Structure 1
Amino acid sequence: MKSSARSRLADRNGPLIPNIDIARPRPYLPRLLKHLFHPVFAFALICAVGCNPNGESASGKRKKERQKTAVVEQRDISFSISVAGEIGPAEQVSVRPEVNGRISELPVDIGDKVKSGDLLFALDDKDLQIELETRRTEIASANLEIRKAKQELDVADQEVELDLRRDSITRAKLEQQKAKDDHARNKILFDDELISKEVMQSVESAYELAKNAVLQAERNLQLSQERFRKAKERARTNYELATNAVLKAQRNLELTQDRLSETRIVAPFDCTVLTRSISAVGQAVSGSGGFNSGTEVMTIANLNEMIIDAHVNQADITRLSADMEVDVAVEAVIGLTVKGRVERIAPKATVRSGIKGFGARILLISVDARIQPGMTAKISIPVVSAENALSVPLAAVFTEQEGRYVYVVVDGVYEQRAVEVGVSDYRFAEILSGLNAGETVSLEMPGEDAEVKEMPAEKDKGKRG
């Protein structure tokens, strides 16, 4: 009975085992005949027969050496699911300039290891240096203007002219009061006919002139106050404009300095150069601050931390959980197996290569120096295991509708014995009942001439304590 690669065979009331065909092993002859007439194979077959001193064929020798029995033994059995994924750096950056320019320095190349803060490449900054000096000149001019505006504002705040106008009013009022007193005294004298009419008219004229002088002094004060107000507003406006000009010049200087600093691109962390798309110094590049994404000069990555981007079938995702440790085999490095830890599992299923599953990110706990980005890794997700389990090879277990059984070989006689199967991997099956350690079982069906007898299963045999 067969199913998909991830499914397992199930006893009616027993545990699941992997999808391994445990019926009678397929003969080798059909596969041999399939390639028999291939010229290379035919030549190799003739040489094999000719070089064998006993005249024995290669296929016959393999058949003779094939194991036919196995001993029931205790061993650890572990079944896991394999998922393929691609290894990549946990931290990878595409390095692009922020400003337009031409490459002036390019000290690193593919494969170079770079420390944090070391130069990756630099752009020609001559134009920006000229612009920087222009910005500094603008600031100096703006500071001069603000000093002049401040002096004007200080002068306007002194109110010297207004003080003079107020003094004039005071003097005019004193003169007016004096003329008024003279007028009153002379009026009495005139009424008593002690002074002439001409003298009285002169006194009255002096009094009118004094009153007019007070009115003129007050008008002059009002005019001076209006001029002072306008002058003060003008001085304050000029000062504010000069202040804004200084601030603008300082911002322009800072922007130029920022752009100048962006002409030297350094490594943000300890890294290795993965790619470099610029071939030589002098090549023009565009900045990422414009309408496009800019020219990619190189890509860098931290190869001390590696992750695996895997896609796990939706049927197996429930076996995976965050922080679970898994075994990772790297196909490009034969025999290399490292530990990994599940960091993230995508909350939503996606379809990749026609298979619906969930993305999983696995962090390698220990990174071997031979592991490189882009290598394919095989992740083993543990499913079930049994320690010190009584077991036999899968080929020894046969399945019929009535259940599973094995053939125990005792003195050349085959005993068909029902067994209960537990945990299985792709090589061995755990026997929960029906066998004892040390017994010998057949790995193939008995021949037609073999003596076979059926025996009922002993429920207490082979059970785990």
Structure 2
Amino acid sequence: MKKWIGIIITIVLMAGAGYWAYEKYKPQPEAPMEVPPPITFDVTQETMTQTILVKGKSVYTEQADVFAPYASSIKQWHVKNGDQVKKGDILFTLDTSALQTELDQMQSDLDKAKLDVEMNQISIDQAGMTETLGVTEEERKKAFADRESKRLANELSQKALVLKEKEIRKKQDVMSKAVVYAASSGVFQMNEGDSKTRAVTEGQLIGTITNTGKMKFLTIVGEEEMFRLKVGMPVQVRMSAQKDLKFTGTVSKVSKFARKSSDTDLKQASQFDVVIDLKPDARMYGGVSLEGDIETMRKDKVTAISSLAIMRDQPEPYVLMDKGNGQTEQVNVKTGMESGDKTEIVSGLKPGDVVVIP
């Protein structure tokens, strides 16, 4: 009896183990595949633009050089390096002592020359009153020659006086320029760091006045971009180092001549200079690297949609318009300009439509 009980228990245990193994390792039915929802795109009405990306540098457009009017030494500075000056402000004063001494000597020589001319004229006049005509022809000729010689010499002396007076006036004009004024408004920058009194030569560059309120953005474009540009196009500008700083500008010049470097190398594509006038902004500095988006085309109230929604595997572009309840309709569309990830829809759709990608 005990033997049969043991057999039955063994059979029950084996059956239970077999059932457990079956439940654990039996093939699982495949889960139903979830169909992802279609991707939808709204047809919108918006402003679309096309731009050209350019890179370059900012430069100051109004700079006035300051020169020494004559050789001397700077007697007094009225401004410091980096000062903001206005047109007409005194920049510096030159020493006039040497020039004044020269003028005094020239005036003294002129006065003496005038006195000599007057004395010679008196002598000529007196000689004319007491002169004898002479007895012989030779004596008369000699008297005439002496008289003409004195007259001509006095005329030459008078002409020399005129030249001396002109020289004096020139010197006086030069000395009147001893006080040097600012020809324009801006920031004054000395050509040399030393602002102490120093000797200068005539025409020496002393410094530069820069109008920091007027700057240009200089850039270069290729042949394809050049034909798309026109004077007056707006430009959105940013600093390459600080892209969060935004500025505005306008295209003021598009060169009609290629740069010299591209003329000599026939394998290199031609490049053209473009000048962009920047709107005054205290945050802008000269000589910094800039980037700009030149707006070459703008359309307002354009019917637009994401370019991804447009199918192009047929002769004509088309979209699948959402008809609701999972139904779609193929609609042929006519496209226009493209900007970024958007495409203009000229016909076939209207704002408010929904397009899907299955």
Q: TM-score under structure 2 normalisation?
A: 0.73
Is the counterpart of residue 340 in structure 1 residue 255 in structure 2?
A: no
Q: 2:345 aligns with which of 418, 431, 452?
A: 431
Cα distance in 1 between the residues matched to 2:280 and 2:269? 30
Instruction: Name 1:135's counterpart in structure 2.
Output: 106
* Cα gap change, 1:136 to 1:401, in 2 (>3 Å): farther
Q: Which runs of 5+ in 1 are unaligned?
A: 1-67, 166-218, 289-293, 447-451, 453-465
Cα distance in 2 between the residues matched to 1:96 and 1:313? 40
Say whether the 8 Å CA contact 2:251–2:274 is kept in structure 1: no
Instruction: Name 1:329's counterpart in structure 2.
Output: 237
Cα distance in 1 between the residues matched to 2:344 and 2:68? 62
Q: CA deviation at 1:236?
A: 1.7
Instruction: Name 2:19's counterpart in structure 1.
Output: none
Letter in 1 for 2:281: D
Is the counterpart of residue 235 in structure 1 residue 150 in structure 2?
A: yes
Is the counterpart of residue 356 in structure 1 residue 270 in structure 2?
A: yes
Cα distance in 1 between the residues matched to 2:260 and 2:309? 39
Cα distance in 2 between the residues matched to 1:417 and 1:111? 67
* Cα gap change, 1:361 to 1:146, in 2 (>3 Å): farther
Residues 154-173 of structure 1 aligned to structure 2 (within 5 Å)? 154-156=125-127, 158-162=128-132
Structure with greater proportional strand content: 2
After superposition, the CA RMSD in angstroms is: 3.3
Cα distance in 1 between the residues matched to 2:92 and 2:308? 63
Q: CA deviation at 1:377?
A: 4.5
Q: 1:104 aligns with which of 75, 85, 103?
A: 75
Instruction: Name 1:422's counterpart in structure 2.
Output: 336
What is the SS of the residue equivalent to 1:370? Answer: coil
Say whether the 8 Å CA contact 2:223–2:271 is kept in structure 1: yes
* Cα gap change, 1:99 to 1:401, in 2 (>3 Å): farther
* Cα gap change, 1:345 to 1:386, in 2 (>3 Å): closer
Q: CA deviation at 1:283?
A: 3.0
Is the counterpart of residue 251 in structure 1 residue 154 in structure 2?
A: no
Instruction: Name 2:42's counterpart in structure 1.
Output: 71
What is the SS of the residue equivalent to 1:360? Answer: strand
Residues 404-419 of structure 1 aligned to structure 2 (within 5 Å)? 404-409=317-322, 410-411=324-325, 418-419=332-333
Say whether the 8 Å CA contact 1:83–1:378 is kept in structure 2: yes
Say whether the 8 Å CA contact 1:149–1:239 is kept in structure 2: yes
Q: CA deviation at 1:121?
A: 2.5
| Larger Cα-atom Rg | 1
Residues 115-264 of structure 1 aligned to structure 2 (within 5 Å)? 115-156=86-127, 158-162=128-132, 220=135, 222=137, 224-264=139-179
Cα distance in 1 between the residues matched to 2:136 and 2:336? 115
Cα distance in 2 between the residues matched to 1:109 and 1:416? 75
Structure with greater proportional helix content: 1
What is the SS of the residue equivalent to 2:270? Answer: strand
Instruction: Name 1:319's counterpart in structure 2.
Output: 228
Identical aligned residues as a percent: 24
Say whether the 8 Å CA contact 1:390–1:431 is kept in structure 2: yes
Instruction: Name 1:374's counterpart in structure 2.
Output: 287
- Corresponding pairs, count: 313
Is the counterpart of residue 306 in structure 1 residue 215 in structure 2?
A: yes
Say whether the 8 Å CA contact 2:233–2:295 is kept in structure 1: no
Q: 2:180 aligns with which of 257, 265, 290?
A: 265
What is the SS of the residue equivalent to 1:316? Answer: helix
Q: CA deviation at 1:266?
A: 1.7
Cα distance in 1 between the residues matched to 2:237 and 2:166? 56
Say whether the 8 Å CA contact 1:90–1:305 is kept in structure 2: yes
